[in-house]
A and B are shown apart, each in its own frame.
Chain A
Amino acid sequence: MTDRVDRLSGLAKGDIFHAASPNGASLICLVLAITKSTIEARTVTTQCHFVFDRRTGIAEWGADRVPCTIDSVAPLPPDIHRVMLEIDLKFRPGKGLDDYKLTATEKHALLFVDGHYASNRL
């Protein structure tokens, strides 16, 4: 538990971590801000905004307060990290559906992230 708290407290603005939702959704989160007790983050794909408790690593989402839990803070390789930031920019709402097509690099990065976080859980 202490190790988990330590690793969560090691997150900094601009880091990318992974959280999971009870419905199986994979939340690739970009840290937007860190406070004494919270981690504010946004999913790079769906652009949802979460406020995680810094000790428990749990954020409550939506009207039903669905618990989303940080399950991996393993750092990404720099090139994958960069692609994730590009995906974050790309998936801002307000564009046409054709503008969201993933490039081969982005597909590769998403496939890499899927296995990377699964094998580096907290």
Chain B
Amino acid sequence: MSYFESDPDFSYIPSPLASLLLNDPNGRNSLGLLQGQSAQSASSAYLDLLRRLTPQSSIPAGTHSVPFAMGTAASLPQNPAAATAQFSLHPESDLLRKLDTAIRALDSTSGNRRSSWTAPGHAAEGQSDETQVAAGGDLMCQGVCSMGGTYGTTGMYTIGGRVLCPDCAAKAAGVADEPAAEKVRVLTPFLLQRR
């Protein structure tokens, strides 16, 4: 029975990386095998990792004798590496949960999950990009409002080669005092053309 299976109230689901560390597919302690290290050095490395992740931890340095079941209990005797992979963790300690939380965070920030986000219009080679860049930005008014007031709101008309906002265009064309409908009709031939 694994550590997780031993507690009926335990709803803990380890992250993929934690699962890989704690249980190998064959039900054996995979820590030493995974790291390519002896069980003893893997054990030390694992404890070091725990200490780094939990600075307030009271895990003492040195050899630890409290068994920590990884893999199935039945597999432990069959796996020489597991027999020596012992830690000072109490099985009910929530340190494992902290470790797994930390590993999940590492998973999400490391290269384990490659981000699929790309900037609009910059699809990677071989990928399709459905985003069409519509505009590089508004053309600002070059009339008097660029010196104060609205400080250059979006241009809409072209008069004398200058981009003008509706207010500045109306002033420049001398129709500011005309009724709104007439103002629009007079200024329509000056509308900014899309380039």
| Residues in A lying within 8 Å of B, measured CB to CB | 21-28, 43-48, 61-64, 66, 91-95, 97-103, 107, 110-111, 113-114
Contacts and interface: CB of A to CB of B under 8 A. Distances in A.
A93 B158 CA distance: 10
A100 B173 CA distance: 6
Contacts of A64: 194-195
Nearest to A22: B194
Contacts of B159: 45-46, 91, 97, 100
12 contacts: A21-B191, A22-B194, A24-B188, A25-B193, A26-B189, A45-B190, A46-B189, A46-B193, A62-B193, A62-B194, A64-B195, A100-B173
Given A100-B159, A100-B172, A23 B185 contact: no
B126 interface: no
B141 to A, nearest CB: 11
Interface residues of B, number: 25
Contact of B178 (A92, A98, A107, A114): A107
Contacts of B160: 91-95, 97, 99-100
Interface of B: 143-144, 158-162, 168, 171-175, 178, 182, 185-186, 188-195
Contacts of A107: 174-175, 178, 182, 186
Contacts of B171: 97
Contacts, number: 88
A25 B161 contact: no
Contacts of B178: 107
Given A62-B193, A93-B160, A97-B144, 5 more contacts: A66-B195, A97-B168, A98-B172, A99-B160, A111-B182
Contact of B194 (A21, A47, A94, A114): A21
Given A97-B159, A97-B160, A26 B191 contact: yes
A23 B194 contact: yes
B158 A46 contact: yes
A121 to B, nearest CB: 16
Given A91-B159, A91-B160, A97-B160, A111 B193 contact: no
Contact of A43 (B185, B186, B189): B189
